[in-house]
């Protein structure tokens, strides 16, 4: 079967760094994506890792280890607007399988 | 249009009624996906289309759910004889092609919030 695990909730203060982990079990793995969703909003794409290693996009970085079936999203210099839910998703076959999401709360 | 659009944005219906949810993908996107999201939950895959074909219907919860896509563009998700457990946000996404690479980012619509009384 296919499954993804990520923490349900993470809290941090403005300016801090937070890491959201994601472990997965799937067949036909192509890559790991991360999506952000604000309350009442639609998910929006953040990053994609098709190969092992770190991808950096501004304040956000994402990491993948295919041998460990593990990845993480790293958010630096946290801002209040980063408070949202973050979903990891694996590309498996012809579709994306989403995790249950990690709710990030950033406090002043 | 510039993004994925969905209609209606909100739908309240009575148990047992049929509902139709519409998705208008980004022009030129060949792949279209339907998801369901219950309050505070993750995204549950329902079905996807490549062009007008639906190779994978495995996520549809029951035979009360069906979907079609015409002209490689607009898609309609139909729920027959709605039940209270169908209450959720139904999200549509489109991408240039099937999932599997960085160029296949999925772009989501704002969703339809369905409430079955």
Q: Which two tokens stand for residue A34?
A: 């991360």
B102 vs A44, which has greater pLDDT? A44
- What was the pLDDT predicted at B101? 56
Contact (Cβ atoms closer than 8 angstroms) between residue A13 and residue A83: no
Query: Does any CB of chain B come closer than 8 Å to the CB of residue A31?
Result: yes
- What was the pLDDT predicted at A94? 72
Interface test with A, best of B23, B26, B41, B42 (most A CBs within 10 A): B42
Query: Does any CB of chain B come closer than 8 Å to the CB of residue A100?
Result: yes
- What was the pLDDT predicted at A5? 94
The yes-or-no verdict on residue A102 having pLDDT over 90 is yes
- What was the pLDDT predicted at B33? 93
Query: Does any CB of chain B come closer than 8 Å to the CB of residue A42?
Result: yes
pLDDT band for position A7 (cuts 50, 70, 90): very high
The neighbouring-strand residues paired with A54 are A63
Contact (Cβ atoms closer than 8 angstroms) between residue B93 and residue B109: yes
Q: Which two tokens stand for residue B56?
A: 């994978």
Collapsing DSSP states into helix, strand and coil, what is residue A57?
strand
DSSP category for residue A2 = -
B8 preceded by cis ω (within 30°)? yes
pLDDT band for position B96 (cuts 50, 70, 90): confident
The dihedral region occupied by A28, where left means phi > 0, alpha psi between -120 and 50, and beta the remainder, is left
- What was the pLDDT predicted at B9? 96
Closest chain B residue to A87, measured at CA: B42
Query: Does any CB of chain B come closer than 8 Å to the CB of residue A98?
Result: yes
**What's the mean per-residue pLDDT of chain B?**
91
A30 vs B113, which has greater pLDDT? B113
The yes-or-no verdict on residue A64 having pLDDT over 90 is yes
Phi/psi at B29 (nearest 5 deg)?
-80, 125
């Amino acid at each position: 079967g296919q499954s993804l695990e990520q923490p349900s909730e993470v809290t941090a203060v403005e300016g801090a760094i937070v890491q959201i982990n994601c472990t997965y079990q799937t067949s036909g793995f192509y890559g790991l994506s991360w999506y952000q969703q604000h309350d009442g909003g639609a998910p929006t794409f953040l990053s994609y890792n098709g190969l092992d290693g770190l991808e950096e996009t501004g304040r956000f970085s994402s990491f993948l280890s295919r041998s460990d079936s593990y990845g993480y999203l790293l958010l630096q210099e946290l801002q209040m607007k980063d408070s949202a839910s973050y979903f990891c998703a694996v590309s498996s076959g012809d579709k994306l399988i989403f995790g249950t999401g990690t709710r990030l709360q950033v406090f002043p | 249009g510039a993004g994925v659009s969905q209609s209606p944005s909100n739908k309240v219906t009575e148990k047992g009624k049929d509902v139709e949810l519409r998705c208008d993908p980004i022009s030129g996107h060949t792949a279209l996906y339907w998801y369901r999201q219950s309050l505070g939950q993750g995204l549950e895959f329902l079905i996807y289309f490549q062009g007008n074909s639906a190779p994978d219907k495995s996520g549809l919860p029951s035979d009360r759910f069906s979907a079609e896509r015409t002209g490689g563009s607009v898609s309609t998700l139909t729920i027959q004889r709605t039940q209270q457990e169908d209450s959720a946000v139904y999200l549509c996404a489109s991408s240039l092609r099937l999932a599997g690479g960085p160029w296949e980012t999925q772009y989501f619509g704002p969703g339809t919030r369905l409430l079955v009384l």
